[in-house]
């Protein structure tokens, strides 16, 4: 049986949606842009707090098959004194197609950047080829930890069993800043002029990196696209072991098929008549569907007829509810109703049909390596009360390094910086309420909704899974173009366009509304077309 960790790899290596970075009426290229004259002209940069050990350059011809234009590839090796690390920074510089801008590309999972060779993915999954194809000079870094998004096993612990805080700091924030500082110097050296504007493009870990840049290094970027950001890392990562703990506590391990029965039932109960693409829930937090209503229902799953049990329903109810203290205080959000459950509640069966939990490696490894400091630890024995203790430990030890939840963005705003964030409401890996609550805290800190919307706008996409992969909903398609238009032309987006394709329903379009508004059906017109909806409270 395919495990959640394997499915997660697909999230980072398969395009979610090929995004068009041109929007009618937008000016997407500066009036003038220099042309590089050859890698040999690049001067080695300097980075405060780090030592650049070496630099190599290579001229790359146009890759007609992959559509990647000719570019200069610069590779830097740097280290931080006292941390014994070796960090790689890679900068790609279009030779004749530069649009005058710089783009920092984000990572996913435990990878600081998704440097996937010549693979060019959709807008939500930034890579060097994707950026360079659109005319950007772009950079990526491995933070000294490599490019494995699924596990930190190669770098989390030192030989003596203690956490490698130097590499964790690189992953959390330091290497993205170093990469940005170095890359901007490389760009200026190669083209003979600085980039007119600098943009961050990232989803998941990349979204967290973008928000960390705004919080810690507000001078690095003019515009930040932060999709499904993995902020609150110190809390949400261990908290998402909750579904496994619940299943172990109840000794009940529903299959993915059984879980889908509950998800589909919730969507049917709470879609308010919106059955396009299988149904979308506009407001999962107000969905009152009770999973216990399915107790006794006979379903055909895993090639046999099965009956939904009280324990099946209780597992789902507690997963949706999220972890709470003994006195009922909410520790973290539950999985949103309408999102696939098996990403965080993976199960498997042996040859005799006995089921057990199959924890997502992203979650399990944080607990094993950074909290228990025991890679071989059996996390199946963790009780609900023990998990609450581990969440508290994670907050105490790592919030200051990787929390990324500082709501004071004054320095970034004062520089004229802009942020567009979006999050799928059916995100099965990073639950959207964490982003919503952070945004509300920013509003409270920065002078209210209107003041915040002047520089930071949040959009919630109904039915959309993590970074646009999974779920039924149309995926935002013009986010980076909207950000460029806002930064350079002062036109703040009121909506984001989105689309999806279905063999049965064809193309579906929607306008994703500015939070807290949602798309309401006009009462007439084709439900598959964006013009049939309007944004309303």
pLDDT digits (tens, 9 = 90+) for 439-497: 999 999 999 999 999 999 999 999 999 999 989 899 999 899 999 999 999 999 999 99
Q: Are residues 388 and 411 in the same domain?
A: no
Give the pLDDT confidence of 224-235 residue by residue, as tens digits: 999 999 999 999
Task: Enumerate the β-bridge partners of residue 496.
Answer: 512
State yes or no: pLDDT of 92 exceeds 80.
Answer: yes
- In angstroms, rounded to a whole number, what is the distance separating the alpha carbons of residues 415 and 396? 32
State yes or no: pLDDT of 332 exceeds 50.
Answer: yes
Is 83 inside any structural domain? yes
How many structural domains compose the chain?
2
Q: Is 274 labeled as catalytic in the residue annotation?
A: no
Q: For tokens 């070796």, what's the residue?
A: 86
- In angstroms, rounded to a whole number, what is the distance separating the alpha carbons of residues 439 and 330? 19
Q: Are residues 12 and 117 in the same domain?
A: yes
Q: Are residues 162 and 241 in the same domain?
A: no
Q: What is the pLDDT of residue 38?
A: 74
Q: Which helix (H) or strand (E) holds 94?
A: strand 87-94
**Residue 209 per-residue DSSP state:** H
Q: Is 414 labeled as catalytic in the residue annotation?
A: no
Average pLDDT over residues 282-288: 94
Q: What is the pLDDT of residue 276?
A: 82
Q: Are residues 68 and 125 in the same domain?
A: yes
State yes or no: pLDDT of 4 exceeds 50.
Answer: no
Considering 455, 473, 493, which residue would you say is the last residue of a domain? Answer: 455
How would residue 127 be classed by pLDDT, with cut points 50, 70 and 90?
confident
Q: What is the pLDDT of residue 514?
A: 98
- Residue among 16, 178, 466, 498 flagged as catalytic: 466
Nearest to 257 by CA among 518, 515, 1, 520: 1
Q: What is the pLDDT of residue 274?
A: 82
Q: What is the pLDDT of residue 37?
A: 63
Is 525 inside any structural domain? no
Is 387 inside any structural domain? yes
Q: Are residues 114 and 197 in the same domain?
A: yes
Q: What is the pLDDT of residue 18?
A: 29
State yes or no: pLDDT of 253 exceeds 70.
Answer: yes
Q: Are residues 77 and 213 in the same domain?
A: yes
Give the pLDDT confidence of 188-231 residue by residue, as tens digits: 999 999 999 999 999 999 999 999 999 999 999 999 999 999 99
- Residue among 204, 255, 358, 394 flagged as catalytic: 204
* HSE-CB for 406 with a 13 A CA cutoff: 20
- Residue among 220, 312, 365, 427 flagged as catalytic: 427
Q: What is the pLDDT of residue 60?
A: 93
Q: Are residues 110 and 75 in the same domain?
A: yes
Task: Enumerate the β-bridge partners of residue 513.
Answer: 495
Residue 67, token pair as written in the block:
């559509």
State yes or no: pLDDT of 31 exceeds 70.
Answer: no
Sort strands 87-94 and 71-79 into parallel, antiparallel or unpaired.
antiparallel
Q: Are residues 139 and 279 in the same domain?
A: no
Q: Is 466 labeled as catalytic in the residue annotation?
A: yes
Q: Are residues 76 and 10 in the same domain?
A: yes
The pTM is what?
0.92
Radius of gyration of the chain (CA): 23
Q: Are residues 363 and 297 in the same domain?
A: yes
Q: Are residues 140 and 60 in the same domain?
A: yes
Domain span holding position 168? 4-19+46-231+404-455
Helix, strand, or coil here: 420?
A: strand
Q: Are residues 389 and 243 in the same domain?
A: yes
């Amino acid at each position: 049986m395919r495990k959640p960790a394997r499915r997660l790899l697909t999230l980072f290596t398969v395009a979610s949606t090929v995004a068009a970075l041109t929007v009618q009426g937008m000016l997407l290229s500066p009036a003038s842009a220099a042309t590089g004259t050859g890698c040999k002209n690049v001067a080695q940069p300097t980075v405060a707090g780090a030592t650049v050990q070496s630099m190599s350059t290579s001229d790359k011809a146009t890759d007609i098959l992959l559509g990647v234009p000719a570019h200069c590839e610069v590779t830097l090796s740097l280290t931080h004194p006292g941390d014994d690390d070796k960090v790689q920074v890679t900068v790609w510089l279009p030779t004749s197609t530069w649009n005058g801008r710089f783009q920092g590309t984000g990572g996913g999972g435990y990878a600081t950047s998704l440097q996937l060779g010549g693979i060019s993915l959709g807008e939500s999954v930034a890579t060097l080829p994707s950026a360079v194809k659109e005319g950007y000079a772009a950079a990526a870094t491995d933070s000294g930890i490599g490019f494995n998004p699924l596990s930190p096993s190669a770098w989390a612990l030192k030989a003596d069993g203690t956490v490698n805080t130097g590499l964790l700091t690189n992953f959390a924030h330091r290497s993205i800043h170093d990469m940005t500082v170095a890359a901007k110097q490389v760009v200026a050296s190669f083209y003979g002029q600085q980039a007119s504007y600098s943009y961050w493009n990232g989803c998941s870990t990349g979204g967290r990196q973008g928000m960390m840049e705004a919080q810690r290094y507000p001078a690095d970027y003019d515009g930040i696209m932060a999709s499904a950001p993995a902020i609150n890392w110190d809390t949400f990562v261990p908290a998402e072991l909750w579904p496994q703990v619940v299943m172990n506590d109840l000794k009940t391990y529903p299959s993915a098929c059984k879980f889908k029965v509950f998800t589909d039932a919730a969507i049917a109960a709470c879609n308010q008549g919106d059955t396009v693409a299988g149904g979308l829930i506009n407001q999962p937090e107000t969905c009152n569907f009770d999973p216990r209503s399915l107790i006794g229902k006979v379903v055909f799953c895993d090639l046999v007829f099965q009956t939904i049990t009280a324990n099946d329903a209780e597992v789902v109810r507690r997963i949706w509810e999220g972890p709470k203290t003994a006195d009922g205080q909410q520790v973290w959000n539950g999985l949103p109703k309408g999102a696939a459950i098996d990403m965080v509640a993976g199960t498997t069966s042996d040859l005799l049909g006995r089921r057990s939990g199959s924890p997502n490696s992203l979650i399990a490894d944080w607990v094993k390596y950074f909290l228990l400091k025991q890679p071989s630890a059996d996390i199946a024995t963790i009780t609900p009360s023990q998990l609450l203790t581990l969440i508290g430990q994670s907050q105490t030890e790592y919030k200051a390094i990787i929390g990324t939840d500082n709501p004071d963005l004054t320095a970034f705003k004062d520089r004229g910086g802009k942020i567009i964030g979006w999050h799928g409401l059916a995100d099965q890996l990073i639950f959207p309420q964490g982003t919503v609550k952070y945004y509300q805290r920013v509003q409270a800190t920065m002078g209210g909704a209107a003041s915040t919307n002047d520089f930071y706008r949040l959009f919630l996409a109904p039915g959309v899974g993590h970074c646009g992969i999974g779920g039924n909903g149309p995926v935002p398609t013009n986010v980076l173009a909207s950000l460029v238009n806002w930064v350079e032309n002062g036109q703040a987006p009121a909506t984001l366009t989105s689309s999806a394709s279905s063999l049965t329903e064809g193309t579906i379009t929607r306008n994703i509304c500015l939070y807290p508004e949602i798309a309401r059906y006009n009462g007439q017109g084709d439900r598959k077309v964006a013009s049939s909806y309007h944004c309303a409270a």
